[in-house]
Structure 1
């Protein structure tokens, strides 16, 4: 038997025992008093009614009154000429009781009792000894007639004793039955609870699973809650593992991107120290320092937008886009890039983080300049239901499966990681964080070697 079995069995058995003890106590102390109280209430009710009637009416209605209230009523005439004759009154009443088949061993009427009757009705109880009953009598003196309203009172002690013994036996069997039923019913409770306990232990060991429990009660609701917790924790753990993996990749990528310029700066600085500078070493150090600065700035921006630190303002997207294109005019001309613009003449007022949108547009245009294979890039800005901006170019070697990866930090499409072409690999991940922080719709499309980056405002 489990702890719960024992606890339930003991608790319920104690309740039965306590109820039994209370029942025995109440039976012994109060049941006889209650029984007598009810009898007195009946004869008092009858007495109240007949006191309002004259003696002739009472005598005439005796049979009806007896039938209605379940009492016995007798009477005798009181001859006051020669004073109160106690014996005559007593014998007269006894004979009347015998006519009602009521046997009396102890019954008497005293002079004082008759005198009291003149003032009010009197209740008396006559114990009949070994006849094992008492007679409750209400005496009423009316028009020189003594009326006796009586009810027998059975001696209840023996009956109460039998009832108590029966209850004791019954309650003893009840305890045994309760223990048996408790074992059966608690098993239905304990089995699913045991499953929930094992499930909880597995969850504590990071072994996330669910347990199907069907009881149609609060235990089933508890099991469902634990199952939901298990699913949520598993999802959170998977997300945490994914984040940890991404963090490892991020740290590795950052280390790789910073290692190269640091190594070059060190090498060229040592060359200057050794006096072998051909006049280009300092320029190289400055160039590599600028690359490191770009990487660090991108990391700072990435951290900022991961925290969703955005400042929303209204601005004209068309104005910002043309400004960013103008920033790249020198590079475009040097590389003989042809820009095809498809921009409406109207204003394109949007709400957004203006500095973040500038970073996004710079990265998308910069990527197109780097990766175009036919020296052509296409930039469009139009509005139907939403403002739609896109930057596209023709690129080689891009496959559909790579499109989800390009948003990851330090992932670059140029496999050789040519330093003149690849960039830092942080640009598109920064674009993603900026756009996510503003809850904007964005994505990539690949069609006939053309890759398109688009944003909807």
Structure 2
């Protein structure tokens, strides 16, 4: 099916379903038709035979039926005994009787009923050969001069005629449904396929790095939902491309200053303008460059985190203790900790970098202390420094967004992206007399 066009697939399925429904309907009709029309035949025989009786006794003409045979027999008086006896030879018969009586067994059976049936009104059924016959008899003033005996009978030709008519109608209806249905599907599919082709063209433009043109997302159906997803992807790609451009601009700016300083001081030392004691300035700028390179490598490393790096259950308090030990001589304020044995599913190095960046940020702003609490997998890192501007909170985790004491604007982005990879969320909020970061499983 995948090798066929969408319109062909839908047309084939529609045709198959239509034909199957028609076949099922025919089967149901075949089983139910016999029972329904058996009652209908008896009803027709009753109505028709009674009409014949009423018309014949009034010497009126009665209609003939294409499916029901009529024979009318009269009583004759025996001149010797004076008794009235039924005449086995019909006084009158409708034209179709000749066709019925080609079956000699049926003719004999009718004559038998004429001679032997005693009831004035009766209905009977007899299978003769491969056909089933329904017979109704009505006697009027039996054994009198004006008496007559009407026999109405028919076989399954009425049923077959009705069945054939129904089958013909069903065939025409099925054919009409298939033709009209496929025409409707053709018109509908042109619209659908046109919209799909439009999306295909738009996606091909995305492949060619053309992200500027918005995608039409009007409508409420599944294709519109797909279009909205593609448009969302386009906006995200556009945002990522903008971020890349900003990062490149910021990297160029951040690298340019220390490189210029290193070059200037190096040339000054070389030309004898200054002495070797100024080498400390070069070392400091080199350390600044190295720190920026390390953070760029960390940011780039996030894009290559894969499932090949198998995460493990890590005791978070051990990670925090390692970070505090590395910074206890650089931080002249107080670390306050309250840590339980909660674990995160992550890799040790990545988790230490992410949490380390949050603590490093807190160290730059804290006035007297940093409070770190870990309870039931919820990690909070509080510092009693000044609160964050509400406008900046919205973009604190965006690359190269720096607070007034920030260094490079990458630490928070690295932390957020790394934690997200391990299904951990991070948020920040201003609290009474400080700022709090919250990390917890998604």
**TM-score, normalised via structure 2 length:** 0.52
2:364 and 2:402 mapped to 1: Cα distance? 11
Q: Are the counterparts in 2 of residues 202 and 208 from structure 1 also a CA contact under 8 Å?
A: no
Number of the residue aligned with 1:250: 247
Number of the residue aligned with 1:441: 425
Question: Bigger radius of gyration, 1 or 2?
Answer: 1
Q: Are the counterparts in 1 of residues 396 and 412 from structure 2 also a CA contact under 8 Å?
A: yes
| Residue 379 of structure 1, aligned match among 371, 381, 384 | 371
Asked whether 1:208 is paired with 2:215, we answer yes
Matches within 5 A, 1:306-325: 306-309=303-306, 310-325=309-324
1:306 and 1:435 mapped to 2: Cα distance? 13
Asked whether 1:424 is paired with 2:419, we answer no
1:67 and 1:319 mapped to 2: Cα distance? 106
Instruction: Report deviation, 1:272.
Output: 1.0
2:345 and 2:104 mapped to 1: Cα distance? 103
Gaps of 5+ in 2: 1-6, 12-87, 91-96, 106-171, 203-212
Specify whether residues 63 and 239 from structure 1 end up closer, same or farther in structure 2 by C-alpha distance, changes over 3 A only. Answer: farther
Q: Are the counterparts in 2 of residues 199 and 211 from structure 1 also a CA contact under 8 Å?
A: no
Asked whether 1:450 is paired with 2:434, we answer yes
Aligned length: 268
2:233 and 2:365 mapped to 1: Cα distance? 37
Q: Are the counterparts in 2 of residues 393 and 452 from structure 1 also a CA contact under 8 Å?
A: yes
Number of the residue aligned with 1:407: 397
2:388 and 2:188 mapped to 1: Cα distance? 55
Instruction: Report deviation, 1:325.
Output: 1.2
The secondary structure found in structure 2 opposite 1:269 is helix
The secondary structure found in structure 2 opposite 1:409 is coil
Instruction: Report deviation, 1:199.
Output: 3.6
Specify whether residues 282 and 317 from structure 1 end up closer, same or farther in structure 2 by C-alpha distance, changes over 3 A only. Answer: same
The secondary structure found in structure 1 opposite 2:233 is helix
Number of the residue aligned with 1:293: 290
1:211 and 1:193 mapped to 2: Cα distance? 18
Number of the residue aligned with 2:352: 358
Specify whether residues 198 and 323 from structure 1 end up closer, same or farther in structure 2 by C-alpha distance, changes over 3 A only. Answer: closer
Q: Are the counterparts in 2 of residues 390 and 454 from structure 1 also a CA contact under 8 Å?
A: yes
Q: Are the counterparts in 2 of residues 381 and 387 from structure 1 also a CA contact under 8 Å?
A: no
Number of the residue aligned with 1:235: 232
Q: Are the counterparts in 2 of residues 199 and 209 from structure 1 also a CA contact under 8 Å?
A: no
RMSD: 3.7
Instruction: Report deviation, 1:241.
Output: 0.8
Instruction: Report deviation, 1:186.
Output: 7.7
**TM-score, normalised via structure 1 length:** 0.51
| Residue 338 of structure 2, aligned match among 337, 343, 357 | 343
